[in-house]
Structure 1
């Protein structure tokens, strides 16, 4: 799934970095010179789940500008509400199409107008 999301994002002009779980993703963020524009997060990850990752990102002032999108199979309304309340900007339920992801990115203002989405 990371490869699929990565290809969609690369096709939209994003540089993509990957992590296998939330803890690894925090390490990736710490190694960057500045915050990335976007982080796509799955709720169900080993070591540190996506909800905990979002909570940790939002605790750090230097990462508050990161747009967070939960991309997950979890479709229960209470989980969607929890993720958004914790600081996710958008929630995309798997399975999804590349077009659906691009529409979410467009709504977030992250796509150049030339994409035609």
Structure 2
């Protein structure tokens, strides 16, 4: 089963996103802290990370760079979760190693579409 990691300071966002990942066939881990996320990935790199850009007391761009240096990170897809469509932030995140951006607020469909685009889940047939 695929592993997903949600890193966000909001317990509600972690819970909702964890449920979405579970419905999409992932086992999810939810963390609120960048250091814990780095430790978790060093122990067992997940298939996907949803990393919120605004975690207190953390430079998330630097965290993203550190995550990309962990062995096995080349097999992990990282969605950098942002609250506004800021081209400068998006560019920095992509240069630091994010595979794609997920804009808040998001729903099941948005997460599913991103995971499909990244090849982590099979594309679902469209209802006509």
**Shorter-chain TM-score above 0.5:** yes
Report the RMSD for the aligned CA atoms in angstroms: 1.6
3-state SS of the aligned residue for 2:27?
coil
Relative to the length of structure 1, the TM-score reads: 0.87
- Preserved contact between residue 22 and residue 52 of structure 1 (Cα < 8 Å): no
Counterpart of 2:116 (choices 97, 106, 113) is 106
- Give the gaps of 5 or more residues in structure 1: none
- Preserved contact between residue 41 and residue 67 of structure 2 (Cα < 8 Å): no
Relative to the length of structure 2, the TM-score reads: 0.80
Matched, 1:86 2:128: no
3-state SS of the aligned residue for 1:36?
coil
- Counterpart in 1 of 2:8? none
Count of equivalent residues: 114
More strand by share: 2
- Give the gaps of 5 or more residues in structure 2: 1-12
- Counterpart in 1 of 2:43? 31
User: In structure 1, how many angstroms separate the alpha carbons of the residues matched to 2:48 and 2:70?
Assistant: 15
